[in-house]
Amino acid sequence: MVWRDPTKETHTECAAVPPSEPCCLAVMYHYVRPPNALAEMAPFGSGDALDAMTVESFEAQLDLLCRHFEPIDWPTFYAWREGRAEVPGRSFLLTFDDGLIDHVRYVAPALERRGLRGVFFVPGFVLAAQNLLCVHMIHLLLARLGTSRFRELLWTQVRQCEPETAAMLADTSWHADAERMYYYEKPERARIKYLLNLQMPATVRQEVLRALFETHVGSPRRWAREWYVGWDELVALEASGHTVGGHGFAHEPYGRLSMENQQHDLNLVAQILREGLGPGARPFSYPYGSVSHETPDLCRSTSFVHGFTTQERWLTAKDAPFLLPRVDTIHVNRYVESEASCRTH
């Protein structure tokens, strides 16, 4: 297995060209909500907008996908991958990361109206600790403060609390990786996300973000109650024919964790899902799409049956089961246009 570093990926047009064999477009979503959803929770002033897909855009994309490809659910996808079923020549699978409340308030009803089913990947931490993940504290701090103000406060906090970590702030060697990974963000915002999500030690990041969040936004626990799905919602999703999978426990990039820490994180989320929802052949989504050499085998040994990355291309029966590609919602049109172009030539 080859370590997949998400910062080294490129997004090329050739990946959108469908292969001649049956293939599936696994589409990845995060926030899906009305434009005013955050303002209804708290007055946020003039910070940066939350990077959310509107419900109207989501529904329009569902209709676009249905016009061009055939929808399949997780049991069908799994049976195809196991050689027990066939899929249409061009199919799509819907996946949703992070266990966000958006997925039951807005996503599930839109799917139900179209007879579609999805895979919902949930981090174990949000169920066990009922607290905000660092990644979402970052998003909310950016929404409250704006990029420049957040950067200023972050730098001050790090210098005061963790002088050794402050050396990272003067180092620019990682800036290119940050801008490559978060290519859809402005450079300053990309660097903030990369520094916090993939560079800064987890214990430092948690301390710094918690202090800033409590000062400028509020209680992380209170926000978590409004931010994530709970057990009742997950049970209802599965009862409706959807699938719940794992998305790590602490939402850490596995490619930067030791083998022991990866195994511990995988064990925790597997146990939580098993205790809350019962046994089953559940898929896994790697946080940030990051894996090390050992991650696929560790994921397999923990009882998950497939592992999804963020590498973008069509998925075929030949893909390694624990290194499956997915396409971000922002690139779906490229794949639709490429497939339509192939049909006309």
pLDDT-based confidence at residue 5 (cuts at 50, 70, 90): low
Q: Could you give the domains of the chain? A: 6-130+231-343 (3.20.20.370), 134-223 (no CATH)
Q: Is the pLDDT of residue 275 over 70?
A: yes
Query: Which pLDDT score, from 0 to 100, does residue 1 have?
Result: 34
Closest-CA residue to 15 (of 345, 342, 334): 334
Query: Which pLDDT score, from 0 to 100, does residue 75 have?
Result: 97
Query: Which pLDDT score, from 0 to 100, does residue 340 have?
Result: 64
pLDDT-based confidence at residue 236 (cuts at 50, 70, 90): very high
Q: Is the pLDDT of residue 344 over 60?
A: no
Task: Taking residues 125-131, report their average pLDDT.
Answer: 94
Q: What is the pLDDT of residues 20-70, one digit of tens each?
A: 899 999 999 999 999 888 877 766 665 667 889 999 999 999 999 999 999
Q: Is the pLDDT of residue 186 over 50?
A: yes
pLDDT-based confidence at residue 343 (cuts at 50, 70, 90): low
Task: Taking residues 175-187, report their average pLDDT.
Answer: 93
Q: Is the pLDDT of residue 266 over 50?
A: yes
More confident residue, 95 or 2: 95
Q: Is the pLDDT of residue 305 over 80?
A: yes
Query: Which pLDDT score, from 0 to 100, does residue 13 have?
Result: 58
Q: Is the pLDDT of residue 176 over 80?
A: yes
Q: Is the pLDDT of residue 14 over 70?
A: no
Q: Is the pLDDT of residue 11 over 60?
A: no
Mean pLDDT of the chain: 91
pLDDT-based confidence at residue 170 (cuts at 50, 70, 90): confident
Query: Which pLDDT score, from 0 to 100, does residue 90 have?
Result: 95
SS (H, E, C) the chain: CCCECHHHCCCCHHHHCCCCCCEEEEEEECCECCCCHHHHHCCCCCCCCCCCECHHHHHHHHHHHHHHCEECCHHHHHHHHCCCCCCCCEEEEEEEECCECHHHHHHHHHHHHHCCCEEEEECHHHHHCCCCCHHHHHHHHHHHHCHHHHHHHHHHHHHHHCCCCCHHHHCCCCHHHHHHHCCCCCHHHHHHHHHHHHHCCHHHHHHHHHHHHHHHCCCHHHHHHHHECCHHHHHHHHHCCCEEEECCCCCCCHHHCCHHHHHHHHHHHHHHHHHHHCCCCCEEECHHHCECCCHHHHHHHCCCCEEECCCCCCEECCCCCCCECCEEHHHHHHHHHHHHHHHCC
DSSP lists the bridge partners of residue 53 as: 32
Query: Which pLDDT score, from 0 to 100, does residue 39 have?
Result: 74
Q: What is the pLDDT of residues 129-153, one digit of tens each?
A: 989 999 999 999 999 999 999 999 9
Query: Which pLDDT score, from 0 to 100, does residue 48 have?
Result: 67
Compute CA distances 294 → 3, 291, 326, whole Å.
8, 8, 20
pTM score > 0.75 for this model? yes
Taking the C-alpha atoms of residue 328 and residue 30, their distance in angstroms, rounded to an integer, is 9
Query: Among 108-122, 129-143, 147-161, 301-315, where is mean pLDDT lowest?
Result: 147-161
Query: Which pLDDT score, from 0 to 100, does residue 3 have?
Result: 44
Q: Is the pLDDT of residue 16 over 90?
A: no
Query: Which pLDDT score, from 0 to 100, does residue 71 have?
Result: 98
pLDDT-based confidence at residue 322 (cuts at 50, 70, 90): very high
